[in-house]
């Protein structure tokens, strides 16, 4: 007896795509989402009910590159693939429903009819943050009482010990070492206006964004209050400046849901390179902290590296 042919339609196609490991969604020629699989829901926090029928740029994922430039309105790889029929791939940061940024690798292909006409584009994506390593680090920090329980990052005690160890290592082997001190702008006003629960959510959003933007061999943690510290191993002055700017830009493109709206978050940063013989951890952090306050005095949402400040409108 011949088996009946299975007719492929949107319903069973969604069922099939729900079984794959990657997030997959499809845009039509009007930039509207027509399919959103289950891994998309896990990776972004948005359900199919919230996304199907809406445009990708309608305050949803709002992809940005490492410099914080929004791709939905300029250089969108989905639109480019649909326009010229060529596949694309890129590493970008999507905005999670909770407001923080998630690093993903995306693959985009045009969708064609049998006639060759382009009907839309499909994107698949995977989270490229090292989740297994991050979870193991959290477990280890918990065991050693080195975990900041609110943000899930390393606490100040661990940062201080790690910085001293890496400075000693740097001195022995001649490696360069950099630190970036970061402070959430207007944090007291956020607490006073929206309450401490909102302040905690802001801290958690910033922490998740920083974790996703940090290289696997570097370390970022909560220094205290609304301050964070990143320790960058074997880094050049150019890398130090570039990574600090990445932190700033991605924080600026993150936000927190508050009272039916979204609260914008920005950081002021100071970045210092440990290139002085015999410099102590306290002295290096103090230099980065002074640079941070240069950024504050210059108008906030800025990066100051050594004696210069990079400004943004």
What is the set of active-site residues? 226
First-residue to last-residue Cα distance in the chain: 71
Rounded CA gap, 273 and 284, in Å? 8
Inter-residue contact 152 to 131 (CB < 8 Å): no
Rounded CA gap, 85 and 100, in Å? 32
227: nearest Cα among 274, 177, 144, 285:
285
The region, left, alpha or beta by phi > 0 then psi within -120 to 50, assigned to residue 276 is: beta
100: nearest Cα among 256, 219, 217, 234:
256
Inter-residue contact 260 to 155 (CB < 8 Å): no
178: nearest Cα among 44, 281, 259, 65:
281
Most distant CA atoms of the chain, gap in Å: 83
Q: Which string of DSSP letters, residue by residue, matches 128-160?
A: -S-HHHHHHHHHHHHHTT-B-TTTSSB-HHHHH
Rounded CA gap, 252 and 87, in Å? 30
DSSP code, position 120: E
Using only C-alpha atoms, what is the Rg of the chain? Answer: 22
């Amino acid at each position: 007896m011949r088996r009946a042919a299975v007719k492929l339609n949107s319903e069973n196609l969604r069922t099939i795509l729900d079984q794959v490991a990657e997030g997959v969604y499809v845009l039509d020629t009007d930039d509207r989402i027509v399919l959103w699989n289950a891994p998309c829901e896990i990776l972004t926090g948005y359900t199919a009910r919230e996304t199907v029928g809406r445009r990708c740029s309608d305050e949803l994922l709002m992809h940005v590159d490492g410099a914080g430039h929004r791709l939905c309105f300029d250089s969108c790889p989905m639109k480019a693939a649909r326009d010229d029929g060529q596949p694309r791939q890129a590493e970008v940061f999507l905005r999670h429903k909770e407001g923080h940024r998630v690093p993903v690798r995306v693959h985009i292909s045009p969708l064609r009819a049998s006639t060759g006409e382009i009907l839309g584009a499909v994107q698949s994506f995977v989270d490229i943050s090292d989740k297994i390593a991050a979870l193991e680090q959290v477990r280890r920090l918990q065991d050693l009482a080195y975990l900041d329980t609110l943000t899930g990052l390393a606490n100040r005690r661990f940062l201080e010990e790690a910085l001293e160890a890496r400075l000693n290592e740097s001195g022995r082997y001649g490696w360069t070492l950099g630190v970036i001190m970061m402070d959430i702008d207007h944090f007291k006003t956020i607490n006073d206006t929206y309450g401490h629960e909102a302040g905690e959510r802001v801290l958690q959003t910033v922490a998740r964004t920083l974790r996703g933007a940090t290289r696997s061999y570097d370390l970022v943690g909560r220094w205290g209050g609304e301050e964070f510290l990143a320790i960058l191993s074997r880094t050049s002055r150019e890398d130090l400046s570039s990574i600090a700017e990445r932190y700033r830009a991605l924080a600026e493109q993150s936000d927190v849901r508050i009272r039916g709206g979204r609260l914008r978050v920005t950081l002021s940063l100071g970045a210092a390179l440990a290139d002085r013989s015999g410099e102590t951890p306290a002295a290096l952090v103090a230099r980065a902290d002074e640079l941070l306050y240069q950024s504050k005095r210059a108008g906030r949402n800025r990066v100051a590296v050594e004696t210069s400040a990079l400004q943004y409108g």
